[in-house]
Amino acid sequence: MAWPKWDSLLEELDPALDGVGDITQPYMAACRRCSKSLRHVLPNGTPHVTRVVAAVSVLAPLYVTYTVTETVEPQTGSISQRISFTPAPEVELHARTLARGIERTLEYRPFPLRLSNVVVPDVFVPHAEGAQATLLSALFDSQLLNLP
């Protein structure tokens, strides 16, 4: 993927989503990432953040969108995270906007999630902690929850 196209994508998405961040971690994964963060407080006062993320492979013209939901436990301060490849209704429009922008600007296609766990023999994936590489981890990242 040409760097100027990535920059063009971010410029297109920023006003469409009222702010989007480049959260690519150089040399850490086989993808570029951008996200839109949505913050609110739950009725019990617990801070809640949903990040709608698009990961774009640098190895194949494929992308995947997903959400990471973070909730802070008020008494302990511990953070729980949950990943989902099916966006909740309240963030579905954001995920579709990311997907349409990627398809239009980069001409990439969605990664078929049914192939996520297909093992890729003899491929090393950084930070996989000894786990076998899968198509999802090899083309994108073994730690999709690890967001800056």
Nearest to 115 by CA among 48, 56, 64, 41: 64
Burial of 15 (0-12, 13-18, 19+ CB in 10 A): exposed
pTM summary value: 0.88
The pLDDT of residue 133: 87
The one-digit pLDDT tens for each residue of the chain (148 residues) are 566 789 999 999 999 999 999 999 877 789 999 999 999 888 877 888 999 999 999 999 999 999 999 988 777 878 889 999 999 999 999 999 999 999 999 999 999 999 999 999 888 776 666 678 899 989 998 888 888 7
Which pLDDT score, from 0 to 100, does residue 128 have?
Answer: 62
Q: How far apart are CA 138 and CA 43, in angstroms?
A: 40
Radius of gyration for the alpha carbons in the chain, expressed in angstroms and rounded: 16
Separation CA 25–CA 50 (nearest Å) = 19
Query: According to the model, what pLDDT value does residue 117 have?
Result: 93
What whole-number distance in Å separates Cα of residue 24 and Cα of residue 92? 22
